[in-house]
Amino acid sequence: MMLVLNILSQYGIPSGVSGSLGVHRLVEALKHAFAVRMNLGDPDFVDVSKVISDMLSTNFAQGLKKKINDNKTFDPNYYGGRWDQINDHGTSHLSIIDSERNVVSLTSTINSYFGALMLSPSTGIVLNNEMDDFSIPMKSSSNLTVPPPAPANFIRPGKRPLSSMTPTIVLKDGKVKASVGASGGLYIIAGTTEVFLNYFFLKMDPLSSVLAPRIYHQVFRFFIFP
């Protein structure tokens, strides 16, 4: 989310991201951000310090902004997407701010609908299938349109799979301004970003910010999801 916002801020917000051109710029920023995201993995197992540093860097965002053309799009390889994108699922999110300005932004998941479709007879808890979010090593595919799995997200004992969860608390001068987040697997990142832009820069009220139409793209697609 921060990388997308850093890219868009180079255009000036909200003027530079308004109208149909603004939608195009948002889509292109999402493509670049998702391409970089493919290199992430559990930091206890993979050195992702440079990837994270780049994703938070305004200089890195400036470089990506220069690659965006306001009049056309490009082949997926142009955005640097080297690995297959895992389609994670589900999640539930809640955002709460109480009268004393204590704030919570919480996303939880058992992954797919009803998780692993197994219920513990002793606890009554539905078991998750979160391991589905790992990239699975496999032989090279003869289908050249399918990129290889991402090594940083390969499954290992005790390792956490890559997630799209984006629970966000917005502060200004140390004071809480908002709590945002979303559900929906890979749609979370784009959805949270768009609600943030709607509320803080397009000056919509909270309900309108959430209900407004959204778009989504994840590099290896040739169409935009409404």
List 58, 73, 91, 107, catalytic entry: 91
> Could you identify the residue written with the tokens 């305004």?
58
Q: Say if strands 175-180 and 168-172 run parallel, antiparallel, or are unpaired.
A: antiparallel
Reading the block at residue 92, the tokens are 């539930």
Cα–Cα dist 129/185, whole Å: 13
Please compute, for residue 25, the number of CA atoms within 13 A of its CA located in the half-sphere on the CB side: 23
Cβ-Cβ contacts under 8 Å for 183 (sequence gap 6 or more): 90, 91, 92, 93, 107
Cα-based angle 11, 14, 18 (whole degrees, multiple of 5): 85
Cα–Cα dist 142/78, whole Å: 22
Q: Which residues are annotated as a binding site for L-glutamate?
A: 109-111, 133, 163-164, 185
Q: Which residues are annotated as a binding site?
A: 109-111, 133, 163-164, 185
Q: Is 166 a catalytic residue?
A: no
Is 170:179 a contact under the CB 8 Å cutoff?
A: yes
Q: Which residues are catalytic?
A: 91
